[in-house]
Copies of this chain bind each other. A is one copy, B any other.
Amino acid sequence: MNKPVPGVVDGRPTPLRRADLPAGLWSTEMHIRFGHCDPAGIVYTPKFFDIFNVVIEKWYEGALGLDYYEFIGKRRIGLGYVNAHADFFSPCTMGDTLDVAVIVERIGNSSFALRLHAFRDGTEALRGHFTVVTTDLTIHKSMPVPPDLRAALAGYAKA
């Protein structure tokens, strides 16, 4: 990443306000449920990665107009991660509603990078970074990003 990332000050992630991102940016609501939370009363960290994955699934359909499940199922194209990262700014608990926006950071040959900003009441509670690699699921090797997905990503990144 060479371009400045919003919400990073001196290399350290700092929470954004929703208004710091473009108003028309696609986002989706996620509800924090009882089963997401642990005996400390807050979301169990691995569950945030599950929540982010659901956001990404919804984003394929809602923002890219593509069917995540058809990629994995019928087309046998994997959309897994070579890395996954999250920064947690404030704890979330059951009953909270998050508004999660997705940004395409980079589109490579057989991979692309996504950044997810999760807001609660307008302030960023956590942020995720995922590098997706497209793979042929029959041989579990990376493959070029399929043309329809590449076009959709590029269109989304431009808008």
Q: Which residues in A have some Cβ–Cβ distance to B below 8 Å? A: 13, 33-35, 37-42, 44-47, 49-50, 53-54, 57, 67-70, 72-73, 78, 80-88, 91, 93-95, 137, 140
Contact = CB atoms under 8 A, between A and B. Distances in A.
A38 B137 CA distance: 12
Contacts of A69: 34, 93-95
A154 to B, nearest CB: 24
25 contacts: A33-B53, A33-B54, A34-B39, A34-B44, A34-B57, A34-B72, A37-B38, A38-B39, A39-B41, A40-B137, A41-B137, A44-B53, A45-B49, A45-B53, A45-B81, A45-B84, A46-B46, A68-B94, A69-B95, A72-B94, A73-B93, A82-B88, A83-B86, A83-B88, A91-B140
A50 B39 contact: no
A2 to B, nearest CB: 13
A94 B73 contact: yes
Nearest to A86: B84
A53 to B, nearest CB: 6
